[in-house]
Amino acid sequence: MHAQNLINIIADELPNLNKSESKVAKVILADPDGATQSSIAALAKAAEVSEPSVNRFCKRFNAAGFPDFKLKLAKALVSGVRFVNRNVDPDDEVSSYTPKIFDATINNLAMVRDKISHTRVNQVVDKLIQAKRIYFFGVGASGSVARDAENKFFRFNLPVSFHDDVLMQRMLASTGSTGDVFFFISHTGRTKEVVEIAEIARANGSTVIGLTAPDSPLARVSSVTLDVDVPENTDEYMPMTSRIVHLVILDVLATGVTLRRGPDFLPHLEKIKNSLKPTRYPRTN
Amino acid sequence: MHAQNLINIIADELPNLNKSESKVAKVILADPDGATQSSIAALAKAAEVSEPSVNRFCKRFNAAGFPDFKLKLAKALVSGVRFVNRNVDPDDEVSSYTPKIFDATINNLAMVRDKISHTRVNQVVDKLIQAKRIYFFGVGASGSVARDAENKFFRFNLPVSFHDDVLMQRMLASTGSTGDVFFFISHTGRTKEVVEIAEIARANGSTVIGLTAPDSPLARVSSVTLDVDVPENTDEYMPMTSRIVHLVILDVLATGVTLRRGPDFLPHLEKIKNSLKPTRYPRTN
DNA sequence: TAATTTACGTAAGTTTACTACATTATTAAG
DNA sequence: CTTAATAATGTAGTAAACTTACGTAAATTA
């Protein structure tokens, strides 16, 4: 279940509350923002109950007490408000659509941050660590993500490549074997071509990792799936943000691999970093 | 300026605070979440100041008092931007480093969201609208960003290409002329090769746009620069997040162009979207 | 060096929230 | 239909937390 908002929880629990508790609930639901700013006495009066009733109400919803409850309520309000009205309007100015696009991206990242399965991440890191070869596959926008992944993972001193060409992908998948990791990146997880290729790879005993939508055909074919459940972009003007989320997840995986490799591996990374120095103008300040 | 996050405001004001106020600020910034849960007495003790000092501190930041301040702080914390200790530790578990990486990315996005010049964005959208051709250039990690940009901008029905090969870039730049837009993407803005190519393009009368670090050599060569000032990654384990910021800025630009094109252009975008339908397994639910 | 302003803390006062206990309502059993 | 038991709610007292007023110390300026 989605990380429930305190306000929704209260609304859901309303029928299960006893008389004075439900009085309190109604007052809070009627004006949650006002509730965060009033004292326990004021709220008790507004709900026509005693102060301890309000206090008990708070504890019922897993708050330490009234102040803690107000804090939680305030937090719930923010995340609620933030999800509203973030669509780009046809007559938006730069100053409107710019923050909207940033906010939409940030929101999706925050959502995935809270939902992503750490177990799965760990499993994928395991697979990547054990891999003899890694292939990053993606088409269209996901091709760029795959390319970026290559750019990160080649640092680990193992054969890594990315491919955005489905014929190449198909041929490589057909020659794969145990120890090879095929890492598929796909927003929808329903591109037939991609799913087919994943099936081929899987049939050859290779490990198939899917960075894609949960319950999608690709997810079902994968050995391990990293679910990315960001809302489809219904708005014409709002760009697709799943690519960004994919990139960050790949960052997480790369960090996971680096940490597993241990501190002895750092000099190697340092060497790669330093190799670029002569290509750059030195900093003056 | 965009609605700034309270935590950022405090961090910004830090140099302007007097002794005891800054003591309070430091304690709050070190653990904002902890601050929301502590009493004024506890906070005063932690900061080694008197309670009224904490109270004055709160009022300085437009809070009615300490409880109100805590409320605002709590709200600031949820708004996606967490200001926790963001460095990845060598002995971090998945459950620690995963949110850290997300948070670092989110933080940088929020920072750029609030700092980016809308005038500049508008100027760049102007240039892109007027362009006869657009070239997206990037090398290394920025190559993926350039590739992604191509994937977005080809939709506008004008000649767009991306190149991650410096020789190709150099040749194309040398043949450029007025009306051509060369869009350079670079984290540091100091890669000699890239700067040289930008100079060549500029010399031919082409428009050069730089999505790069402010005051960098590349920024100085560009006709218009979009400054991306994200902190250098000093931490070995923390991935470079500027790519992500670049991608989002390109999203913003693409949206800007779409909006300028007006509603008559939407059917064209729709057509492109629909063209992919037959490649996908239909949704079952 | 004195005057003035600003910064900070002490102590008292006020509000706020919590706890223990008492009372009232509700339910179940005889 | 009582009566006992339990649950729900409120009262009153207390402890904690917050704010205010005021005084002293530090810093700044003339």
B43: domain CATH number? 1.10.10.10
Torsions phi, psi of A98, nearest 5? -60, -60
pLDDT beyond 50 at A85:
no
CA atoms of A242 and A250, how far apart (whole Å): 12
Contact status, residue B121 vs residue A95, Cβ threshold 8 Å: no
DSSP A17: S
Domain identity same for B74 and B151 = no
Any domain includes A280: no
Reported confidence tier of residue A264, pLDDT bands at 50, 70, 90: confident
Domain identity same for A49 and A173 = no
Domain identity same for B52 and B153 = no
Question: SS3 string of chain B?
Answer: CCCCCHHHHHHHHHHHCCHHHHHHHHHHHHCHHHHHHCCHHHHHHHHCCCHHHHHHHHHHCCCCCHHHHHHHHHHHHHCCCCCCCCCCCCCCCHHHHHHHHHHHHHHHHHHHHHHCCHHHHHHHHHHHHHCCEEEEECCCHHHHHHHHHHHHHHHHCCCEEEECCHHHHHHHHHHCCCCEEEEEECCCCCEHHHHHHHHHHHHCCCEEEEEECCCCHHHHHCCEEEECCCCCCCCCCCCCCHHHHHHHHHHHHHHHHHHHHCHHHHHHHHHHHHHCHHHECCCCC
Last residue of a domain, one of A82, A104, A130: A82
Domain identity same for A122 and A78 = no
Answer yes or no: do A195 and B269 touch at CB < 8 A: no
List residues bridging with B180 in a β-sheet: B133
Mean pLDDT of B95-109: 87
Any domain includes A108: no
Average pLDDT, chain B: 88
Domain identity same for B57 and B160 = no
Compare CB distances from B151 to A82, A101, A141 and report the shortest one's residue.
A141
Any domain includes B126: yes
Domain identity same for B71 and B205 = no
Any domain includes B228: yes
CATH no. for residue B225? 3.40.50.10490
Q: Which residues touch strand C (CB under 7 A)?
A: A 39-41, 51-52, 55, 58, 64-68, 70; B 18-21, 48-53, 67
Task: Dump pLDDT digits (tens) for B195-250.
Answer: 999 999 999 999 999 999 999 999 999 999 999 988 766 567 777 889 999 999 99
Reported confidence tier of residue A4, pLDDT bands at 50, 70, 90: low
Last residue of a domain, one of A67, A82, A97: A82
Task: Dump pLDDT digits (tens) for B143-184.
Answer: 999 999 999 999 998 899 999 999 999 999 999 989 999 999
Distance from CA of A144 to the nearest CA of B (A): 5
In chain B, the number of structural domains is: 2
Domain identity same for B122 and B35 = no
Nearest to B187 by CA among A195, A151, A103, A223: A151
Torsions phi, psi of A134, nearest 5? -130, 130
Domain identity same for B60 and B152 = no
Any domain includes A109: no
Average pLDDT, chain A: 87
- Structural domain boundaries, residue A120: 114-275
pLDDT beyond 90 at B3:
no
Look up residue B40 and give its two tokens: 């004024």
Reported confidence tier of residue A82, pLDDT bands at 50, 70, 90: very low
Across the A:B interface, residue pairs with CB atoms under 8 Å apart total 201
- A74-83, A201-210, A231-240, B89-98: which range is least confident on average? A74-83
